[in-house]
Amino acid sequence: MAEGTTIHWFRKGLRIHDNPALLAAIEKIDGIHYELRPVFVLDPWIVKKLRVGPNRWRFLQQALTDLDNNLHSIGSRLYVLRGKPEEVFPRVFLEWRVRKLTFESDTEPYALERDASVEKLARSAGVSVIQKVSHTLYNPESVIHANLGKPPLTYQKMLSVLDSLGPPVCPVATPKDLPQACLPSRGAPGDNTLMVPTLEELGVEEDQLGPCLFLGGETCALQRMRDCLKNKTWVCKFEKPNTSPNSLEPSTTVLSPYLKFGCLSIRTLYHQLKQTIGNASHSKPPVSLIGQLMWREFYYVVAAGTPNFDKMVGNPVCCQVPWDTNPKYLEAWTKGQTGYPFIDSIMTQLRQEGWIHHLARHAVACFLTRGDLWISWEEGQKVFEELLLDADWALNAGNWMWLSASAFFHQFFRVYSPVAFGKKTDKFGDYIKKYLPVLRKMPPEYIYEPWKAPLSVQQKAGCVVGTDYPRRIVLHEDVYKKNIARMSQAYKDNKTDSGVASKRPADKMTSRTKTKK
DNA sequence: TTACAGGTTGTAGGC
DNA sequence: AGCCTACAACCTGTA
């Protein structure tokens, strides 16, 4: 029997289907198979520091459990190591006589740093390292390179660059039964060691959790994808702007949490969508389902090529806006107590269930930033990062900049109404009633604007504004006009570069992307 | 240099 | 229901 092991390090990419780095771990070295040790590293110290709410911890815990099961089905298992990767790996490199380390490339800044350190440690321990790109349809570096060293800053430009690169590569095969030599050996850690953590170990208490509507893991991801693809007409006709932000059941796929953790391969989804559509007439990007995947790709590419992408200051694509610091408004927004039922119901759904419709995100994001409260998008980003099951670094930052008209989107005079927008798709306010039971008996004509109901009506509904439900914290009809003017001024100031941090000229961007490896 | 078209997903009001 | 306009007017990419 061969001496030594190979490690596949799971971080994102929590799946065995379309996992090229996992396949690379199974491949022979110099004609010999080595024992496979699939690993997930849990850093107990960082667990407490991360902005991860209870619902997402649960999702991750479920995803790891499912991954362990799927690895068992091919004769292996998941080993969950505890500690900092930079400390844990050097130890197991020796203990396990590791020959090869494989993992999926990750473009987030903290991950780049972490992976560079681990790679260095691996090399000095004589461990060869293989990285594979499979979290995105294209390698973001290649897209940037094809666009002459800078990330494309418009969606259409992005599409044309991707077009020049050809179609995305096909998914790779799911490993079936592993070769005998790859299976756990007698010297492998025991069955009851290095187990998937419990929720308790992750510091999650039962009473912090909302209902579990989306079970984490590859198995559910693939099932959900299949269910979505069953309805070919729906897939072909899908247009995002025409889906409802406030239906009682999700009007979109809710595959995002699975894509975030890589329980579902983006490439598998892409090719399955293409296959489902076939030759039928169909909607097109940017509004189609394929178009949604391309938005994800867009933000990944820009994020990979932009320093300080999750901040305003020092971010060359971000408009510098003098946002207010207003803890009271921020708290009201975060807790769903703005006094606008549409906004508050969305924030309640977010906290309880961990997923809200994309357009619902628009409504609350616009409200927090340029529309009403004039609070920095970075504050909203933090709240979403904690509460969303699908919280994804690049997409979260990118979309917050979009909604706050700080980047990518510039028509800041288009402001969502916290009253009118929701009415278009939910005239009677059923969604509001679901998430804000206090408004259950409010007549439909007042449910979006309970402050307009006569006191007798409020009393009869058991919901008196100021007592049972908050007064609205701002008057939208007044404040949005002032904010448009402020936004206009901010744009002017950015153009003349007065007073605020550096802006954008194209030459700066070129040098910036060159600093990235 | 300047002009113009287009930009996933605004609102209110009119026909 | 769906389409039109006014509102005030942004940006980027292209010619």
**CATH code at A262?**
1.25.40.80
Q: Note the CA–C1' distance, A273 to C8, in angstroms.
A: 41
Question: What does the pLDDT average to over A298-326?
Answer: 97
Are A51 and A77 in the same domain?
yes
> Could you tell me whether strands A79-82 and A5-10 are parallel, antiparallel, or unpaired per DSSP bridges?
unpaired
Question: Hey, CA dihedral for A84, A90, A92, A98, is it positive or negative?
Answer: positive
Are A258 and A110 in the same domain?
no
Q: Note the CA–C1' distance, A354 to C3, in angstroms.
A: 37
* Cα distance between residue A429 and residue A337, in whole Å: 17
Of A252, A235, A256, A234, the residue nearest A243 (C-alpha): A252
Q: Note the CA–C1' distance, A421 to C2, in angstroms.
A: 18
Give the pair of three-digit tokens for residue A422. 């929701």
Are A286 and A337 in the same domain?
no
Q: Is A255 annotated as a binding residue?
A: yes
Residue A319 resides in a domain? no
Are A487 and A462 in the same domain?
yes
DSSP label at residue A371 = I
Which residue in this structure is represented by tokens 């200051």? A313
Residue A178 resides in a domain? no
Q: Is A392 annotated as a binding residue?
A: yes
Q: Which nucleotide comes closest to A408 if you measure CA to C1'?
A: C11
Q: Is A496 annotated as a binding residue?
A: no
Please, which pLDDT band fits residue A496 given cuts at 50, 70 and 90? confident
Residue A192 resides in a domain? no
pTM, entire model: 0.95
* Cα distance between residue A142 and residue A462, in whole Å: 59
Strand C nucleotides with an atom less than 7 Å from a protein beta carbon: 8-14
Please say whether the beta carbons of A345 and A436 come within 8 A: yes
Nucleic chain C contacts, Cβ below 7 Å: A 152-154, 157, 160, 410-413, 485, 488, 491, 494-495, 504
Render pLDDT for A199-246 as a digit per residue (tens, 0 to 9). 999 999 999 999 999 999 999 999 999 999 999 999 999 999 999 999
Residue A92 resides in a domain? yes
The CA-atom distances, in angstroms, between A257 and each of A56, A216, A348, A361 are: 9, 8, 18, 15
Burial A228-250 (b: 16+ CB within 10 A, else e): bbeeeeebbebebeebbbbeeee
Q: Is A468 annotated as a binding residue?
A: no
Range of the domain at A297: 136-171+218-305
Question: What does the pLDDT average to over A467-496?
Answer: 96
Q: Is A269 annotated as a binding residue?
A: no
Q: Note the CA–C1' distance, A56 to B14, in angstroms.
A: 48
Residue A466 resides in a domain? yes
Split into its structural domains, chain A has a count of 3
Residue A77 has pLDDT above 80, yes or no: yes
Categorise residue A308: left if φ over 0, alpha if ψ from -120 to 50, beta otherwise. left
Q: What does the pLDDT read at residue A2?
A: 57
Please say whether the beta carbons of A130 and A28 come within 8 A: no
> Which residues is A102 bridged to in the sheet?
A8, A130
Are A280 and A374 in the same domain?
no
Are A484 and A444 in the same domain?
yes
Q: What is the crossing angle of helices A155-165 and A289-304, to 10°?
A: 90
Q: Which nucleotide comes closest to A488 if you measure CA to C1'?
A: C10
Are A299 and A339 in the same domain?
no
Q: Is A254 annotated as a binding residue?
A: yes
Residue A243 resides in a domain? yes
Q: Note the CA–C1' distance, A362 to B9, in angstroms.
A: 9
Average pLDDT, chain A: 94
Q: What does the pLDDT read at residue A505?
A: 39
Residue A186 resides in a domain? no
Residue with smallest Cα–C1' gap to B6 = A156
Residue A159 has pLDDT above 60, yes or no: yes
Of A194, A193, A200, the residue nearest A58 (C-alpha): A200
**CATH code at A417?**
1.10.579.10
